[in-house]
A and B are shown apart, each in its own frame.
Chain A
């Protein structure tokens, strides 16, 4: 195997040549674990996406035969016709899968694992075995979640938020083991994520290369560092809540059931205490990725580096005190709602700072429209929409009307698809050469980005209109209501756009696999970028660097006057005397 030979030759320290199992399955190499998380996330995108399409079909043409679903047996589908129980399972699993098994594994698992050691100049993570365990527990969690589709009673159907008491007793939904497996799977995912986040934090604090001070770290590392702290503090709360829910369901306790003295709102507090930081877990890495790419392809230093880092810190801190804004209409004390409105309005400020700084980065740059750049620009513009629409629901009185309507669905998709997903695409297009040693096809990539951008906006922007019209979320058949009748053509338009959006992703799949097999061989630094991963060989061997780099400057020194090229890598030493640059 030539690749192993290269690995052996280039690695800084002697490594014995590992076998197939140790290289591809039970690897402790952060890069392989990162790729494993990437595969997990990309694979899970398929059931998550298909669930969304089936829902959309039902919403546009309620009660009609859903194409290609004849093979799904009763009681889920009745000869291609969807029942309300299955519809509820579909949106529950769409949310659960996309959040826990697509966005988190790719943003945190894949990019976190692959990038952290390479970008801070370390040979691997602080705890490689823990890292491997984190993936395998994560995979187990994914398998348990998928298994839920095959148990009697169907999969969880109480929404990805699984509000109690609906989720706390089988007789409310008719779902028995589906909901139990949902809880167990997410408890495992919490453990997996805990192992990962401890690893990230330890690695970033202790294993940075010589000269890599905190304020010379690339912003994507800052974002992953902050994300890891959020996960460490927020996920155990969810894990405990899930444990309580499981006890309520299986052991006869009543933490959440009022007839036994329990409190339904307690679940919402616990869930959203996790759930809101979770939103930032999914958006902060995207912000980091966008910052790297915007600076690289504007050939310009990032505008206000420290403001960017500090605004992420303040977003993370404030992210822990805004959870109540999900509960304005829950029956929580109205005065408490007031304080959550204040903190929510405050958190809009650092988000605004970041947006304006990205614009500042573009100002008088030399902008290269590569595929990753298109992804990053899409991220910025769509994040603006998602951020601004958040102000509507932060306003307590306006939230009375738009709470639990499609306005919220539009908002979350502008943040999590427009934000996180475009961040994911941009990141994959950007780091694919370093990950797999080959370039992705630029033409195909650009077509994919443009088509996705258009189809995305056609799908999700009209949902704002549905929300303004009062269209509730999570309803199986909108034609039941007279006041929604005028909105039905919009539902049809959204569904057609959503199908286009889904089909457009085939372009990405083709590009991904074709490039993997036959893409142009990538050089060491194809984007002429400054950060340390680009000074490692492509693809980086076990141990990453030939010799560990020394860091002399910040990560965004582009177009430095007097420098020989328009980029100046972090590890390139400039002597006062004229000397050959390395």
Chain B
């Protein structure tokens, strides 16, 4: 079943996937155990003439065992999950590139800070649905929304975070493989929700520079803009 996971191309995705696998193995084992025992009991203790049922109200030792054992497993899972969560969401590391992603029925507004690396200045670049990032760099994404709640979902990077109107939420990721990946909206946002699709372009360092050169205003232009202001 786990073979259906989309290919992972982010640094922390592997840690998420290994937890996913671990829980999958544990729950599958428990499920099989319970089912085997249940089916065995159903077969062995089916009604037979002259064989009365055991008169028993339970067993405290067993009761303690099957309280404590699941509790221990769950505590371990909780701690392991907590550590990974803290690293992904608890702290945001020093990032190399920043970009704003704003949901708007039914598009993703992608806002690049431009050469001055500051938002809200004249050299900002806004694109629709196309997010270009360099490979092997930590990307800071500032999520927001112009209308309703959307959810920024990068299945191949194991990234999902709701984008809310009225607040800015910071998340980060680092892509490890160049290519084009889909951006999806995971929170119902209206009749066009199903089609709120974008693309994430993970570019090699050279490709990213080329793309910047083609799209971003050159530093000289930026200086002109400043003077004009």
**Nearest chain A CB to B3 CB, angstrom units:** 8
> Are A334 and B85 in contact, CB atoms less than 8 angstroms apart?
yes
Partner of B58, one of A303, A338, A464, A559: A303
Q: Which residue of B lies closest to A554 (CB)?
A: B57
> Are A468 and B153 in contact, CB atoms less than 8 angstroms apart?
no
Partner of B81, one of A158, A164, A396, A487: A396
Q: Is B70 an interface residue (CB 8 A)?
A: yes
Q: What does the 1/0 interface line of A237-267 toward B look like (CB < 8 Å)?
A: 0000000000000000000001100011100
> Are A172 and B190 in contact, CB atoms less than 8 angstroms apart?
yes
A142 to B59 alpha-carbon distance, docked (Å): 46
> Are B66 and A483 in contact, CB atoms less than 8 angstroms apart?
no
Q: Which residue of A lies closest to B195 (CB)?
A: A480
Q: Is B30 an interface residue (CB 8 A)?
A: yes
Q: Is A519 an interface residue (CB 8 A)?
A: no
Q: What does the 1/0 interface line of B25-64 toward A look like (CB < 8 Å)?
A: 0110011001101100110011110011111111100110
**Nearest chain A CB to B99 CB, angstrom units:** 18
Which of chain B's residues 151-168 have a Cβ closer than 8 Å to chain A? 151, 153, 155-156, 158-162, 164-167
**Nearest chain B CB to A484 CB, angstrom units:** 9
Q: Is B93 an interface residue (CB 8 A)?
A: no
Q: Is A552 an interface residue (CB 8 A)?
A: no
Chain B residues within an 8 Å CB radius of A469? 4-6
Selected interface stretch from B118-126, B181-189, B214-222: B181-189
Q: Is A384 an interface residue (CB 8 A)?
A: yes
Which of chain A's residues 393-442 have a Cβ closer than 8 Å to chain B? 395-398, 400-401, 403-405
> Are A397 and B16 in contact, CB atoms less than 8 angstroms apart?
yes
A405 to B151 alpha-carbon distance, docked (Å): 12
Q: Which residue of A lies closest to B85 (CB)?
A: A396
Partner of A346, one of B27, B74, B147, B184: B74
Chain A residues within an 8 Å CB radius of B70? 348-349, 352
Selected interface stretch from A220-228, A294-302, A504-512: A294-302
> Are B27 and A481 in contact, CB atoms less than 8 angstroms apart?
no
Q: Which residue of A lies closest to B60 (CB)?
A: A304
> Are B193 and A401 in contact, CB atoms less than 8 angstroms apart?
no
> Are B195 and A401 in contact, CB atoms less than 8 angstroms apart?
no
Partner of A392, one of B27, B66, B71: B27
Number of A-B contacts (CB under 8 A): 277
Place the interface of chain B in its size category: 35 or more
A356 to B61 alpha-carbon distance, docked (Å): 13
Q: How many residues of A contact B (CB 8 A)?
A: 98
**Nearest chain B CB to A345 CB, angstrom units:** 4
Q: Which residue of A lies closest to B169 (CB)?
A: A331
> Are B81 and A364 in contact, CB atoms less than 8 angstroms apart?
no
> Are A480 and B194 in contact, CB atoms less than 8 angstroms apart?
yes
Q: Is B141 an interface residue (CB 8 A)?
A: no
> Are B30 and A388 in contact, CB atoms less than 8 angstroms apart?
yes
Output the residue of A329, A334, A483 with the most chain B CB within 10 A: A329
Q: Is A76 an interface residue (CB 8 A)?
A: no
**Nearest chain B CB to A527 CB, angstrom units:** 13
> Are B5 and A483 in contact, CB atoms less than 8 angstroms apart?
no
**Nearest chain A CB to B19 CB, angstrom units:** 5
Q: Is A280 an interface residue (CB 8 A)?
A: no
> Are B6 and A483 in contact, CB atoms less than 8 angstroms apart?
yes
Q: Which residue of B lies closest to A385 (CB)?
A: B31
A384 to B188 alpha-carbon distance, docked (Å): 29
Chain A residues within an 8 Å CB radius of B115? none
**Nearest chain A CB to B51 CB, angstrom units:** 6
Q: Which residue of A lies closest to B48 (CB)?
A: A366
Q: What does the 1/0 interface line of B127-155 toward A look like (CB < 8 Å)?
A: 00000000000000000000111010101
Q: Which residue of A lies closest to B13 (CB)?
A: A401
Given contacts A173-B191, A329-B160, contact A395 B81 (CB under 8 A): yes
> Are B58 and A304 in contact, CB atoms less than 8 angstroms apart?
yes
> Are B58 and A363 in contact, CB atoms less than 8 angstroms apart?
no
Q: Is A353 an interface residue (CB 8 A)?
A: yes
**Nearest chain A CB to B127 CB, angstrom units:** 20
Q: Is B23 an interface residue (CB 8 A)?
A: yes
A508 to B19 alpha-carbon distance, docked (Å): 42
Partner of B54, one of A166, A174, A559: A559
Chain A residues within an 8 Å CB radius of B57? 301-305, 556
Partner of B67, one of A342, A353, A487: A353
Q: What does the 1/0 interface line of A22-63 toward B look like (CB < 8 Å)?
A: 000000000000000000000000000000000000000000
Which of chain A's residues 277-308 have a Cβ closer than 8 Å to chain B? 298-305, 307
Partner of B1, one of A159, A464, A477: A464
Q: Is B77 an interface residue (CB 8 A)?
A: yes
Partner of B66, one of A264, A352, A381, A477: A352
Q: Is B105 an interface residue (CB 8 A)?
A: yes
Q: Is A8 an interface residue (CB 8 A)?
A: no
A355 to B33 alpha-carbon distance, docked (Å): 12
Can you pick out 7 interface pairs between chain A and chain B where the beta carbons lie within 8 Å of each other? A264-B165, A303-B59, A365-B53, A384-B34, A391-B23, A395-B19, A396-B85
Q: 17 extra interchain contacts, Cβ-Cβ under 8 A, other than A345-B78, A403-B186, A556-B57? A: A88-B190, A88-B191, A172-B147, A264-B164, A301-B57, A334-B85, A366-B47, A366-B52, A368-B47, A391-B77, A395-B78, A401-B16, A404-B151, A468-B2, A469-B6, A483-B6, A566-B53
Footprint of B on A, CB under 8 Å?
Answer: 83-85, 88, 157-159, 163-166, 172-174, 258-259, 263-265, 298-305, 307, 329-331, 334-335, 337-338, 341-342, 345-346, 348-349, 352-353, 355-357, 359-360, 362-369, 377, 380-381, 384-385, 388-389, 391-392, 395-398, 400-401, 403-405, 464-465, 468-470, 472-478, 480-483, 486-487, 556, 558-561, 566
Footprint of A on B, CB under 8 Å?
Answer: 1-2, 4-6, 15-16, 19-20, 23-24, 26-27, 30-31, 34-35, 37-38, 41-42, 45-48, 51-59, 62-63, 66-67, 70-71, 74-75, 77-78, 81-82, 84-86, 88-90, 105, 147-149, 151, 153, 155-156, 158-162, 164-167, 169, 181-182, 184-195, 197
